[in-house]
A and B are shown apart, each in its own frame.
Chain A
């Protein structure tokens, strides 16, 4: 158990819809990162939030957006869903941004049909 919880665990959406995924970070952790893991691939960095501010972004379009709340929980929002967005979305929390160990949640499986 890493103390990082994600919801929902599984969901199915239709192309063009919007989705919100949620993450509660480990207690005391102020940094949250989101990763996308397509089937058969390693996780790809989407973005990181530190103390409610975006602190870096990977190669994902603007329709991928996020939020971090004062309690350091986080949301990942994806608009205008495409079939290729089908993947496991992983949230990882860390104590802070300075290269500490990251702890992953179990992920949210998104299927876009």
Chain B
């Protein structure tokens, strides 16, 4: 059972374009994390959002946590080839994190 659904599953865009990745759930989470994973490597934490409605910015990346703490979005401005990777959202639930299926992003130079 996948508690977190991510969309789109695959995304291929040109360098310089903007994009948004969505992470949705019917469950409430105390916090939600976004990771980026490159082939052959473990996920690397990008951000943790805790408060409903919270917005965090990390250079060209903007993360938002939904007011009800059930959903989140990741917006990338002016995508670069270095942004290519698998983006995973993960909701904190007790002693584990529930991961989404991931969004595979390819940025074409």
Contact = CB atoms under 8 A, between A and B. Distances in A.
Interface of A: 2, 4, 33, 35, 40-45, 48, 55-56, 58, 90, 92, 97, 99, 101-107, 109
A107 B35 CA distance: 15
Given A41-B101, A42-B102, A58 B45 contact: no
7 contacts: A2-B42, A56-B95, A90-B42, A99-B92, A101-B45, A104-B35, A109-B40
Interface of B: 2, 4, 6, 30-31, 33, 35, 40-45, 48, 88, 90, 92, 94-102
Contacts of A105: 42
Given A41-B101, A41-B102, A107 B96 contact: no
B9 to A, nearest CB: 9
B44 A104 contact: yes
A97 B96 CA distance: 9
A27 B13 CA distance: 40
